[in-house]
Amino acid sequence: MTVVEQREIGADRERRDGPAKVTGTASYAAEHPFAHPAYAHAVQATVARGTITAIDTRAAAAVAGVTTILTHQNAERLASDEDKELWVLQSPEVCFRGQFVAVVIADSAEAAREAAELVEIAYAEHDHDVVLRAGHPGFYAPEQVNPAYPTDTEDGDVEANLASATVTVDATYTTPAYHNNPMEPHTTVARWDPAAGHLTLHDSTQSVHQVRELIAPLFSLDLEQITVIAPHIGGGFGSKGRPHAHNVLACLAARAAPGRDVKLPLTRQMLFSVAGYRTPTVQRLRLGADPDGHLLALVHDVWEQTSRIKEFAEQTAVPSRLMYASQARRTTHRLAPLDVPVPSWMRAPGENPGMYAGECAMDELAIALGMDPIKLRIRNEPQADPESGKPFSTRNLVACLRRGAERFGWAGRDHAPSRKPGRGGRLAGTGVAASTYPVYRMPGSEAAIDVLPDGRFRVGIGAVDIGTGTWTALAQVAADALAVPLERVELQIGDTSLPHASVAGGSSGITTWGTAVYDAARNLRNRHGHRPDAGATATGTAGGNEAADHYAMHAFGAQFVAVDVDPDTGEITVPRALGIFAVGRIVNPRTARSQFLGGMTMGLSTALWEQSIMDPVTGHYINHDLAEYHVATCADIRDLEADWIEEDDPHVNPMGTKGIGEIGIVGTAAAVANAVHNATGIRVRDLPITPDKLLRARL
Ligand code: MOS
Contact between 186 and 271 under an 8 Å Cβ cutoff? The reply is: yes
Cα distance between residue 406 and residue 633, in whole Å = 29
**Cα 284 to averaged position of ligand 1 atoms, centre (Å):** 25
- From the alpha carbon of 241, which atom of ligand 1 is closest? 4
How far does the centroid of ligand 1 lie from the alpha carbon of residue 628, in Å? 24
Name the residue of 244, 602, 662, 666 to mutate for ligand 1: max ligand atoms within 8 A of Cβ.
662
Catalytic: 662?
yes
Spatial distance between the Cα atoms of 397 and 186, rounded to a whole number of angstroms: 37
Contact 255, 198 (CB under 8 A): no
Alpha-carbon span 648 to 601, nearest angstrom: 27
**DSSP string covering 594-623:** HHHHHHHHHHHHHHHT--BPEETTTTEES-
**Distance, CA 240 to ligand 1 centroid (Å)?**
8
Probe target for ligand 1 pocket from 347, 440, 441, 663, with the most ligand atoms within 8 Å of CB:
347
Pocket of ligand 1, beta carbon within 6 A? 206, 236-238, 241, 345-347, 349, 505-506
Please identify, by atom number, the ligand 1 atom nearest to the C-alpha of residue 346.
2
Please tell me the distance from the alpha carbon of residue 293 to that of residue 365, in angstroms, as a whole number: 8
Q: Where are the alpha helices (DSSP H) in 216-350?
A: 245-256, 271-274
Predicted TM-score of the model (pTM): 0.97
Q: What backbone torsions phi and psi does residue 255 show, to the nearest 5 degrees? A: -70, -25
| pLDDT mean by block of 10 residues, the chain; 699 residues | 76 97 96 94 98 98 98 98 98 98 98 98 98 96 98 98 98 98 98 98 98 98 98 98 98 98 98 98 98 98 98 98 98 98 98 98 98 98 97 98 98 96 96 98 95 97 98 98 97 98 98 98 96 97 95 98 98 98 98 98 98 98 97 95 97 97 98 98 98 95
Ligand 1 atom with minimal separation from the 347 CA = 2
679: Cβ–Cβ under 8 A, 6 or more apart, which residues?
419, 420, 422, 427, 428, 429, 430, 563, 564, 565
Question: CB under 8 Å to 601, separation ≥6 — which residues?
Answer: 632, 637, 640
Residue 168, strand partner residues: 288
Would you say 253 and 39 are in contact if contact means Cβ atoms under 8 Å apart? no
Cis bond leading into 319, ω under 30°? Answer: no
Q: Cis (ω within 30 of 0) for the bond into 265?
A: no
Nearest atom within ligand 1 for CA of residue 206? 4
Contacts of 623-631 with CB under 8 Å at 24 or more apart are 624/268, 624/269, 624/271, 624/272, 624/273, 625/268, 625/269, 626/181, 626/268, 629/179, 629/181, 629/272, 630/605, 631/181, 631/602, 631/605
Nearest atom in ligand 1 to 237's CA:
4
Q: How far apart are the first and last CA of the chain?
A: 56
Alpha carbon nearest to ligand 1 atom 4, residue: 238
| Phi and psi at residue 412, to the nearest 5° | 90, 0
Task: Compute the chain's Rg from CA coordinates.
Answer: 26
- Beta-carbon count within 10 A of 396 CB: 24
Cα(134) to centroid of ligand 1, in Å? Answer: 27
- Give, in order, the Cα–Cα distances in Å from 374 to each of 294, 319, 425, 475, 568: 13, 18, 28, 39, 31
**How far, in Å, CA of 19 to CA of 26, rounded?**
9
Q: How many CB atoms lie within 10 A of CB 534?
A: 11
Task: Pick the catalytic residue from 184, 213, 647, 662.
Answer: 662
CA–CA gap between residue 334 and residue 311 (Å, rounded): 12
Write down the pLDDT at residue 4: 59
- Ligand 1 atom with the smallest distance to the CA of 503 is 4
C-alpha 509 – ligand 1 centre gap (Å): 10
- Tell me how far the alpha carbon of residue 587 lies from the centroid of ligand 1, in angstroms: 19
Q: What is the per-residue burial (b if ≥16 Cβ within 10 Å, else e) of 261-275?
A: bbbbbbeeebbbbbb
Residue 346 CA to ligand 1 centre (angstroms): 6
Q: How far, in Å, CA of 204 to CA of 581, rounded?
A: 30
Q: What's the pLDDT score for residue 1?
A: 47
Give the position, in ligand 1's atom list, of the atom nearest the Cα of 466.
Answer: 4
What is the C-alpha separation between 614 and 307, in angstroms, rounded? Answer: 14
pLDDT at position 653 is 96
Compute, in angstroms, the gap from residue 123 CA to the centroid of ligand 1.
36
- Cα–ligand 1 centroid distance for 274 (angstroms): 17
Quick check: 665 and 348 in contact, CB under 8 A?
yes
pLDDT for 199 equals 98
